Amino acid sequence: MNTKKVVVACGTGIATSTVVADKISEACKKEGIKVDITQCKVTELRSYADEADLIVSTTILRDKYDVPVINGLSLITGVGEDEVLKKIIGELRK
Amino acid sequence: MSLIKFILDLGAVVMLPIIIFVLGLLFGQKPGRAFRAGITIGIGFIGINLVIGLLVNNLGPAAKAMVENMGVSLNVIDVGWPAAAAIAFASKVGAFVIPIGLAVNILMLVTRTTKTVNVDLWNYWHFAFTGALVTAATGSLPLGMVAAAINAAIVLKLGDWTAPMVQEFYGLPGISLPHGFSAAYVPIAIPLNKLIDKIPGINKIEASPEQISKRFGVFGEPVMLGLILGVILGLLAKYDAKATLNLGMSMAGVMFLMPRMVKILMEGLIPVSEAAKAFIQKRFAGKEFYIGLDSAVAIGHPAAIATALILVPITIFLALIIPGNRVLPFGDLATIPFMVAMVAPITKGNVFRSVLIGAVVIAVGLLIATNVSPLHTQAAIDAAFKFPEGATNISSICDGANPLTWILLKLMQIFG
């Protein structure tokens, strides 16, 4: 399986996205999926989205993207975290 | 006590790793993981120090030359929130801010004085920053810690108060945003919005965000912003072409690298913050509580983005014309979304009103940031940041221009 590219977007490109990126990378390691995770600000997402296989965002996305988008808010609140991780893994397995 | 004093005097690069290691152990982390987290935080701090050097060493002389050429005295460099956060966590108050913030939150939850379970430990830096300024002003560590605790309590109350509005506007059920910077503007924005309601003509103007974002898009990309501002400053400083282009690239580099460095700091904090989050969420969970998050989760909303983009050129313009302002806006031009994140729900997403309110708080904020710049610089030096000889003063918009931080500072100075 090829390395999958995930872009994690949030308001800063640092704060909440680092937590989310950390969780995705751990989950993927457990599942044996190779991922390359990039973080960015939501205002920069347009420039990063084209090369991605999946977008995970902790904030509201205004634009539509050709790439699948998953809301990663649960990974910060901890509520419904496992389901979202499962969804992310499922998407990367495709 | 002498051991604590010894650790505090080691300097941030050594102190922070020790503190994070100990906190990690206290929250039940494995020693190996806690140790690695501590080292990571120290490395993040070293990285930020390097980038601040890049910023101040390049922008400082350019600002000075610009002052001589143009007669505008903007010689206080806005280093931006990443540097302010690092200064805050690296301060002596910062060493205690995680236990302080948690204790305040738990105490208020137990006494039912808040509904917010603030799991956003990263943003405790705002409280530490207030504390660091108070300590720099009064020389008293206990007063700084008290200021941090009061700041944490006020922000929790602001989070509670705004939660219904935030939940509805941003579609974030069960969430509140107890954010030290964003929430501070709520008590100002509400009366200003009421005032706008009363002004004939102005109160009818509506502006929708969609078009604006496209037109002002470049202001949302910090690297481009850094490049453009660097080149403009080079021209104003009457640099030659080579030096001007180099300044542009250096500033683009600062904008790119600074967040990367803070990310390292953030990574080091994750084990502790995740453990603390689990600890506090296990005890206070359920429908009657809000989960307190970083206002970063709201920033993507078109109204917040559009407002912030328009405010970037307005901020630079205000900095040039406001008498008494000495702050050269730079690092925090990319942070303006956080200023308006909780203003947008108040104006119900009306970009025109949000910009108007934003311009008022920025105008006042620049004067506040000018006012605190000696203390801001002192706090940075106290936190072992290296400044070149005879260096320019520094400040920031987040939180150097934060009215809540400033009020707490002035109150505490009465006691100091």
Tell me whether residues A14 and B175 touch, CB distance under 8 A: no
More confident residue, A30 or B281: A30
Distance from CA of B128 to the nearest CA of A (A): 17
Tell me whether residues B294 and A76 touch, CB distance under 8 A: yes
Task: Please give the pLDDT value at position B241.
Answer: 95
The whole-angstrom separation of Cα B361 and Cα B346 is: 15
> How much is the average pLDDT of B277-298?
86
Residue B281 confidence class, pLDDT cut points 50, 70, 90: confident
User: Residue B81 burial by CB count (10 A; 0-12/13-18/19+): exposed, middle or buried?
Assistant: buried
More confident residue, B171 or A55: A55
pLDDT value at B115 more than 60: yes
> How much is the average pLDDT of B102-116?
96
For residue B69, how many other CB atoms are within 10 A of its CB? Answer: 12
Main-chain dihedrals φ then ψ at residue B176, nearest 5 degrees: -130, 165
Alpha-carbon dihedral B196, B197, B199, B203, rounded to 10 degrees:
90
Q: Does A14 touch chain B (CB under 8 A)?
A: yes
Task: Please give the pLDDT value at position B303.
Answer: 86
Q: Among A71-75, B139-143, B179-183, which is the least confidently predicted range?
A: A71-75
User: Which chain B residues touch A if contact means CB-CB below 8 Å?
Assistant: 82, 119, 122-123, 170-172, 174-175, 213, 217, 220-222, 259, 262-263, 266-267, 270, 273-274, 277-278, 281, 291, 293-302, 305, 334, 337-338, 341
Task: Please give the pLDDT value at position B79.
Answer: 92
- Rg of the Cα atoms in chain B: 21
**pLDDT tens digits along B135-168:** 999 999 999 999 999 999 999 999 999 999 999 9
Residue B1 confidence class, pLDDT cut points 50, 70, 90: low
**Bridge partners, B118 (sequence order):** B292
**pLDDT tens digits along B5-38:** 888 788 778 888 998 899 999 888 899 999 999 9
Q: Does A64 touch chain B (CB under 8 A)?
A: no
pLDDT value at B310 more than 60: yes
Structural contact between residues B144 and B132, judged by C-beta atoms closer than 8 angstroms: yes
Mean pLDDT of chain B: 90
Structural contact between residues B228 and B52, judged by C-beta atoms closer than 8 angstroms: no
State the pTM of this model.
0.88
User: Residue A25 burial by CB count (10 A; 0-12/13-18/19+): exposed, middle or buried?
Assistant: middle
pLDDT value at B282 more than 90: no
- Provide the strand spans (E) within B42-95: 76-78
The whole-angstrom separation of Cα B119 and Cα B106 is: 11
> Which single residue is written with the structure tokens 């405010």?
B311
Edge-first strand order for the sheet with B290-292 is B116-118, B290-292, B175-176
The 3-state DSSP composition of chain A as helix, strand, coil percent (nearest 5) reads: 45, 20, 35
Q: Kindly state the tokens that stand for B257.
A: 């690298």
Task: Please give the pLDDT value at position B306.
Answer: 87
Residue A44 confidence class, pLDDT cut points 50, 70, 90: confident
**pLDDT tens digits along B320-347:** 999 999 999 999 998 898 999 999 999 9
Task: Please give the pLDDT value at position B388.
Answer: 60
Q: Which residues of A form the catalytic set?
A: 10
CA A25 to each of CA A33, A37, B371: distance values in angstroms, whole numbers, following the listed order: 9, 8, 44
> Can you tell me whether residue A7 is helix, strand or coil?
strand
Q: Kindly state the tokens that stand for B66.
A: 């610009």
Q: Does A74 touch chain B (CB under 8 A)?
A: no
Tell me whether residues A47 and B123 touch, CB distance under 8 A: no
For residue B41, how far is the Cα from the chain centroid?
18
**pLDDT tens digits along B386-402:** 766 556 789 999 999 99
Q: Among A77-81, B88-92, B195-199, B317-321, which is the least confidently predicted range?
A: A77-81
> How much is the average pLDDT of B55-73?
83
Helix B92-110 and helix B241-283, axial crossing angle in degrees, nearest 10? 40
Structural contact between residues B357 and B336, judged by C-beta atoms closer than 8 angstroms: no
pLDDT value at A61 more than 80: yes
> Can you tell me whether residue B77 is helix, strand or coil?
strand
> Which single residue is written with the structure tokens 């969970």?
B285
pLDDT value at B214 more than 70: no
Residue A36 confidence class, pLDDT cut points 50, 70, 90: very high
pLDDT value at B127 more than 70: yes
Task: Please give the pLDDT value at position B377.
Answer: 94
> How much is the average pLDDT of B201-205?
87
Task: State what percent of residues in chain B have pLDDT above 90.
Answer: 59
- Which domains are seen in chain A, by residue range? 4-93 (3.40.50.2300)
Q: For an interface test with B, give the residue of A8, A22, A77, A81 to mutate (most B CBs within 10 A).
A: A77
> Can you tell me whether residue B314 is helix, strand or coil?
helix
> How much is the average pLDDT of B66-72?
79
CA B4 to each of CA B18, B77, B134: distance values in angstroms, whole numbers, following the listed order: 11, 33, 20
Main-chain dihedrals φ then ψ at residue B178, nearest 5 degrees: -80, 70
Please list every residue in chain A whose beta carbon sits closer than 8 Å to the beta carbon of residue B266. 14-15, 18-19
Task: Please give the pLDDT value at position B109.
Answer: 95
> Which single residue is written with the structure tokens 């920033």?
B299
